[in-house]
Amino acid sequence: MSTVTATPPTTTSPASRSHRPAKRPSWLRRSWDRHWYAWAMVAPVVVVLSVLIIYPLVRGVFLSFTNLTEANQLAEICTKSITGSESCKANPEAWHMVGFDNYVDVLSGKVGQFWQWLGVTLIWTIGCVVFHYTIGLGLAVMLNRPMWGRGVYRVLLILPWAVPAFVSAFAWKFMFNEKFGLFNALLTKVGLDPVEWFSDWKTSLLTAILTNIWLGVPFMMVALLGGMQTIPTEQYEAAEIDGASPWQRFVSITLPGLRSVSMTVILLGTIWTFNMFPVIFLVTQGQPAGQTEILVTGSFRAAFEGIRNYSLASTYGVLILSILLVFSVFYRRMLRKQGEVW
């Protein structure tokens, strides 16, 4: 997963080095002779990906231009007559192409609250990723030095990762319970008024973000810790001799050394958080009144509660995917500019 930055193993294969401009027809042949086993090895995955991802993706994009719902999906309506014979006639309300209507409806706010959900999603994603990264980095720096009890700390800090996300979501919802939850009990104990967490969108979103921070820090910590251990010690020793302070060593050795890992985990973390389903779905449940839905949960509810609206779900899907694709392209371009290519 975090191997995006791995450079292609150049020394490994004897293959594909010499693309001499030979006679035309033999290129394919030679390429086949040289690479057939590599292709054979990736074939199962490619087949599975095309059947399960590429086809549904194409189909999903297509559906977003139709008005297909659970109610109008039949092309024919068949009625049984008394004699038992079946007569079928075309469904006058059958689904059909509607062009960009779905996109217009969604983006103009006629259906659902796209812009509000997008706003919440951005707060959610940025809030979570920033805290994931900074807390993860802080803990990783602390764990990356010799000290007593390091193994114990590490195991305890990774523990939240071992808990299935839906269980953590339930656990935090339990602690934020407005009547008897832990946080309100503590607030009452110190003489403050209990907070009705889920009746204001800000506190409601806060509970979800706190839950997700708790969930996501271990991954960042582990990835960054692994990255730190590949930084050569000599660099630290040299800096030490030159009299660099711990802070200077952190800024000019640790951070640059972590750059490629950081870029990868931030990109992945952003994508994952953007599409994080269970935490919002279970912790805030969109309360109050759907104001804390993020795009993924909001579109799920809009499309799958009541009559299932397949075309609407696909429209949202295409929009979410486009946002993430645009983000990744810009992200990569930014990295390229700074001389990093993968």
Q: Which of residues 93-132 bind another protein (CB under 8 A)?
A: none
In whole angstroms, the minimum distance from the beta carbon of 83 to another protein comes to: 29
Please choose, out of 83-91, 111-119, 200-208, 322-330, the segment that lies near another protein by the rule CB under 8 A.
322-330
In sequence order, which ranges of the chain are alpha helices (DSSP H)?
24-49, 55-63, 101-107, 114-143, 150-162, 165-175, 182-189, 201-228, 233-241, 246-249, 255-257, 259-274, 278-279, 295-304, 310-337
Phi-psi group of 318: left, alpha or beta (phi > 0 → left; psi -120 to 50 → alpha; rest → beta): alpha
Give CA angle at 76 (74, 81), nearest 5°. Answer: 125
Give every CB contact of residue 315 below 8 A, 6+ residues apart in sequence.
Answer: 64, 102, 103, 106
Among the listed residues 22, 26, 29, 42, the single contact to another protein using CB under 8 A: 42
In whole angstroms, the minimum distance from the beta carbon of 233 to another protein comes to: 5
Q: How far apart are CA 109 and CA 183, in angstroms?
A: 36
**Which residue, 150 or 202, has its beta carbon nearer to another protein?**
150
**Which residue, 72 or 184, has its beta carbon nearer to another protein?**
184
- Whose tokens are 């919802």? That residue is 173
Please choose, out of 84-92, 93-101, 108-116, 220-228, the segment that lies near another protein by the rule CB under 8 A.
220-228
Please choose, out of 46-54, 94-102, 109-117, 124-132, the segment that lies near another protein by the rule CB under 8 A.
46-54
Among the listed residues 6, 74, 75, 255, the single contact to another protein using CB under 8 A: 6
Q: Does 63 bind another protein (CB under 8 A)?
A: yes
**Which residue, 78 or 329, has its beta carbon nearer to another protein?**
329
In whole angstroms, the minimum distance from the beta carbon of 85 to another protein comes to: 25
Among the listed residues 38, 77, 130, 192, the single contact to another protein using CB under 8 A: 38
**Which residue, 113 or 144, has its beta carbon nearer to another protein?**
144
Q: Does 299 bind another protein (CB under 8 A)?
A: yes
In whole angstroms, the minimum distance from the beta carbon of 273 to another protein comes to: 12
Give every CB contact of residue 320 below 8 A, 6+ residues apart in sequence.
Answer: 274, 275, 295, 296, 299
Q: Does 192 bind another protein (CB under 8 A)?
A: no
**Which residue, 205 or 283, has its beta carbon nearer to another protein?**
283
Q: How far apart are CA 263 and CA 336, in angstroms?
A: 12
Q: Does 288 bind another protein (CB under 8 A)?
A: no
Q: How many CB atoms lie within 10 A of CB 5?
A: 14
Report the site for another protein in 142-181 (rule: CB under 8 A): 142-168, 170-175, 177, 179-180
Counting residues that bind another protein (by CB under 8 A) gives 126
Q: Does 282 bind another protein (CB under 8 A)?
A: yes
Q: How many CB atoms lie within 10 A of CB 209?
A: 22
In whole angstroms, the minimum distance from the beta carbon of 92 to another protein comes to: 22
Q: Exposed e or buried b for every residue in 53-75, given b needs 16+ CB within 10 A?
A: eeeeeeebeebbbbbbbeebeee
Report the site for another protein in 249-278 (rule: CB under 8 A): 259-261, 264-265, 268, 271-272, 274-275, 277-278
Residues paired with residue 89 on neighbouring β-strands, in sequence order: 77
- Whose tokens are 């594909």? That residue is 16
- Whose tokens are 């870029």? That residue is 263
| Residue type at position 328 | S
